[in-house]
Chain A
Amino acid sequence: MSFLQPLALLGLCLILAPVVIHLLNLLRYKKQDWAATQFLLKAEKKSSKFSRLRHWLPLLLRILALLALTFLAARPILHEGTGWWSLSAYQPGTVVCLLDRSSSMGRPSAQANQSLQDMAQKQILSVLRDHPKQEIILFDTLGREPLIINDTMVKSQVILDKFFSPTDTSAHLPNSIIHVMKWLERESIGKAKIKVYSDMQNNSWKLQNSAETLATIRHALSRNYKLWELQVHPLQSSTSMNRSIAIEKIFKGIGYIQPHLAIDRSKNIQETITLEIDVGERTQTLDLNLSASKNLLSPKIRLPANNDSPWVRLRIPLDSAPFDNTAYFTTDSQEPKKILVYAEDKKVEEIIVAAAQVKQDLVISLIDLTATKPANLSAVDLIIAQGINFESHSASLENFVKKGGTVIEFPPSALINPSQRQVSWHFAELENISRVFKVQQWNQETGILANTSGGQPLPFSYFETRKRVLPVHGETLAYYNDGKPFLTREKKGKGFHFYFSTLPLTSWSNFEEGFLLVPIIQRIFQTIASPNQEFFKVCGRYESLEYQGALPVTGNPQDSPIENAGIYQINQSTIACNRPLEENDLTYVTKQEVIESLSSNNIQWLAQSSPEDVVKDEELWKVFLLLAIGFLLTEAFFSLPPRLKAAR
């Protein structure tokens, strides 16, 4: 319990007044000569305890009445959190709602025929309906300034619609919670309930990758124990059939463009759907036979010669969640990938160029890397090198990889002696002619060494080598039968550095035959993120902020590249925005995972929202008013003259 007017508690000193008056009255005895003392003594002796109690009762009642009146003036508030009895000033509870506005919130709800977004809006507004005097601070996962809504504002549907409208962004709820907590600290709000409305999508919580953020939340909650309370309102999405389309990457050739599409389905059934491909105003259709829940497709889209609408829209049939049935990308001013090949051994260089040249539209440059200036690397997407001393080019190559470039490196052809040893490689190893090194273990599920879509593994069983130079850096992607690395990958900034441990030379191995070299190099081509090629932006990411004010070509006129997927026009250039690929994720965090990750007593999991979750504070002035009246009436009764009392 706390008080709205704690200063009024100084009135507690008033309870001394009746005590003093009573004592003064007792001291003011009247002297009286008396004859019938024997009856007086008998009466004093027989005067029962109740009579004595009744003598003191009016005094007690006066004190209690004054106490009740003082508390009445101090306006006590009974609320949870700070204990029943506290003389502190009242801190009104603030209700902060954090709304997950990620794309996945557009999915239909399991309980009602409405989206999760609408469900969350309904629950938040019901709080205001049940508590008309309550104000709600509304945050979203877009990191915008909070919106303060109250009962009257609910009638202004325009503002609310803008705030509650669906977006094509992803969410990072731990970061958003931190954002809310910082706002609470900045505004010096003592007591608050942070209500998080989310579909609990794994991708929105990122519990595994946010250890530091979660620790910050834990610390803030424990520091504000009994003041801040985190309430999680999970919203369960429907399990009905849903299809989604997303672009993983785009490969552009001369005269055509080949997007790598991921079409995910919530149910694994055999069906044929029509993919509508809008290249500007022209529409093509393509029938797709789908049998798996996750489908990877790479349709080749021919671009018209005079392509005046440099964008493409891909549509699959609409379902209950139409937000994820469309994908966009642009086609103009995109160049083919440029590969720079350098090898100290000319035979190796020929073989590598041949392996890379499978894709006709690649631009392969054979450059003396040692003579290349760093500025010339700005137009290169991939470097394949052999026998280069990278230490001498560390600055330019490091910068190239960190920007997103990819390097595939083969070991030096000459056997390395201790004096010539380079940092990236161990000593060369030779095996007897009768015995060769073979690759025994690699990741067949995912990555560049994964099995083909038909389930066939890469032909490592045919591969054998007699010489090898083991790389020092990177994680091992394939192992020899003695556990040593055949291929490693090292991440540097945005790019990757691959190390092979053998050369495509007959004197070394049968790698030159191409059955393994070609698919591996081709797959690396497909996985590389070109720093120079960008077909679409991702909504909600930092990069999309640069295009604020862009005019939508598709969708609604109010759409913005920050929130909505679509084609936009800005400064006579066209950009495409898509929702994040990870929003296709259909895995969800559980109550136990959230509670364990945050491990705080200030967390509540509220599967069912109820009005009592919000405000439990209650003014108690009515109770004290009734008490004061009761005490005064009782005191008046005991103070009545005996005759009047008897008449009653």
Chain B
Amino acid sequence: MKPPTPEVNHYIDRAAIKTLMGTPQVSTTAMEGTVSGYHRNSLKGSSVEFSEYREYTPGDDLKRLDWRVFGRTERFYLKEFEADTNLHCHFLLDSSSSMKFGNEISKFEYGKKIIGTLSFLFLQQGDAVGMHLSGEISSATSIAKRNPAQLHTVLQALLYGNAEGDEKISSSMHEIAESSGVRSLIIIVSDFLDDADAIMQAIHHCKERKQQLVLFHLLDEQEENFDFRQPTRFVDLENENVVISDPKTVREEYLHALKSHISSIRKGCMETQSSYHKITTKLCLSDGLRPFATDPNFSSKR
């Protein structure tokens, strides 16, 4: 008997949608979209938002001359307005074997729910969405699209995605920084079990490409607390190496190393004005995404 196949809608968390639906997710940095949208464009356009006056230069469109100013000052000025556009959002889901770890729900499954829910929201507000699994950057779902069918495509990709292999997240971040266009939004969902310096370099690479970065750092409760009582044989999920240890003895050092790693990533995000959200998988998704909704680097307030 085959295990029941989860439906694609399983990855859209209705409670989270209900929480986040009323507040459009707007980028604080200028985006370069193809159509009008919620996001500020790097170019001037025809929105209702006044931007600035500029002296006429031969070749400018005469329709944009402000004749009232000419009547008062007999000089030619152009009146310019802000342009609104949509954004291209690229999701990167860490598919290394370490993402399989989890007590009630694995980090990989939790990450899928984050991506499914946010994809629904971004597509609802007209943004283009693309989804990447680490190690599979150039797949069919890698191109961001804004049509409603893209949601199904993304959910299908999530459904068939597996956490296996030992691809480092930093290398996938470098790849996505190059492959996605400038001024797009990259949302990385990973446990970031990689060298902290390599991750920092990848973050800076993305920033150099003028991409806005949102990091969802997934941690299981056991990883976060390391609350084991007896000597344990730890088997690495990526390379199956065995570490025999007495948790009581090394707990403090472990927690110190974890805290230090998180601090490094958080510091990189602060330097690049990227968003960082540490989420413990025991939280329900609506609670897990609530800090994202109120993130000052990525909020509804302009």
Inter-chain contacts of B244 with A (CB < 8 A): 29
Stretch at the interface among A46-54, A199-207, A282-290, A545-553: A46-54
* Beta-carbon contact of B253 and A26 below 8 Å: no
Contact with A along B202-238 (1 / 0, CB 8 A): 0000000000000000001001000010111111111
Inter-chain contacts of B237 with A (CB < 8 A): 33-35
In whole Å, how far is A168's beta carbon from the nearest beta carbon of chain B?
85
Known contacts A34-B237, A35-B191; decide if A55 and B246 are in contact (CB<8 Å).
yes
* Beta-carbon contact of B223 and A43 below 8 Å: no
* Beta-carbon contact of A38 and B193 below 8 Å: yes
Q: B119 on the interface (CB 8 Å rule)?
A: no
Measured CA separation A240–B257 after assembly (Å):
93
Measured CA separation A38–B256 after assembly (Å):
12
Q: B101 on the interface (CB 8 Å rule)?
A: yes
Please tell me the number of chain B residues within 8 Å of chain A, measured between CB atoms.
36
Inter-chain contacts of B233 with A (CB < 8 A): 29-32
Known contacts A25-B230, A28-B231, A34-B234; decide if A42 and B241 are in contact (CB<8 Å).
no
Closest B-chain residue to A40, C-beta based? B243
* Beta-carbon contact of A40 and B235 below 8 Å: no
Inter-chain contacts of A35 with B (CB < 8 A): 97-101, 107, 191, 193, 220, 223, 236-238
* Beta-carbon contact of A40 and B231 below 8 Å: no
Contact of A28 among B100, B107, B230 (CB under 8 A): B230
Known contacts A32-B233, A34-B237; decide if A43 and B250 are in contact (CB<8 Å).
yes
Measured CA separation A343–B40 after assembly (Å):
170
Known contacts A29-B244, A42-B257, A44-B245; decide if A36 and B231 are in contact (CB<8 Å).
no
* Beta-carbon contact of A41 and B243 below 8 Å: yes
Measured CA separation A228–B236 after assembly (Å):
73
Measured CA separation A340–B77 after assembly (Å):
183
Q: B278 on the interface (CB 8 Å rule)?
A: no
Interface residues of B in 225-274 (CB under 8 A from A): 228, 230-238, 241, 243-246, 248-254, 256-258, 261
Closest B-chain residue to A639, C-beta based? B248
Inter-chain contacts of B107 with A (CB < 8 A): 35
Contact of A42 among B99, B101, B223, B253 (CB under 8 A): B253
Interface residues of A in 436-464 (CB under 8 A from B): none
Q: How many A-B residue pairs have CB under 8 A?
A: 103
Measured CA separation A31–B228 after assembly (Å):
12
In whole Å, how far is A27's beta carbon from the nearest beta carbon of chain B?
9
Contact with A along B178-199 (1 / 0, CB 8 A): 0000000000000101000000
DSSP majority for the A interface?
A: helix
* Beta-carbon contact of A34 and B254 below 8 Å: no
* Beta-carbon contact of A30 and B243 below 8 Å: no
Measured CA separation A32–B252 after assembly (Å):
19
Measured CA separation A42–B250 after assembly (Å):
9
* Beta-carbon contact of B249 and A51 below 8 Å: yes
* Beta-carbon contact of A44 and B243 below 8 Å: yes
Closest B-chain residue to A646, C-beta based? B252
Measured CA separation A92–B241 after assembly (Å):
65
In whole Å, how far is B22's beta carbon from the nearest beta carbon of chain A?
36
Contact with B along A218-256 (1 / 0, CB 8 A): 000000000000000000000000000000000000000
* Beta-carbon contact of A642 and B251 below 8 Å: yes
In whole Å, how far is B262's beta carbon from the nearest beta carbon of chain A?
10
In whole Å, how far is A344's beta carbon from the nearest beta carbon of chain B?
120
Inter-chain contacts of A55 with B (CB < 8 A): 246, 248-249
Inter-chain contacts of B252 with A (CB < 8 A): 43, 51, 642
Inter-chain contacts of B243 with A (CB < 8 A): 34, 37, 40-41, 44
Interface residues of B in 54-110 (CB under 8 A from A): 97-101, 107
Contact of B254 among A28, A29, A39 (CB under 8 A): A39
* Beta-carbon contact of B250 and A47 below 8 Å: yes
Contact of A36 among B235, B250, B256, B258 (CB under 8 A): B258
13 contacts between A and B (CB under 8 A): A25-B230, A25-B231, A30-B232, A30-B233, A34-B236, A36-B191, A36-B193, A38-B257, A42-B253, A44-B245, A51-B250, A55-B246, A642-B251
Known contacts A35-B238, A51-B252, then 7 further A-B pairs from the complex at CB < 8 Å, ordered by chain A residue: A29-B244, A35-B107, A38-B193, A39-B258, A42-B254, A43-B250, A47-B250
Residues of B within 8 A of A (CB): 97-101, 107, 191, 193, 220, 223, 228, 230-238, 241, 243-246, 248-254, 256-258, 261
Q: What 5 A-B pairs are tightest by C-beta distance, nearest first?
A: A43-B253, A35-B98, A35-B101, A43-B254, A34-B234
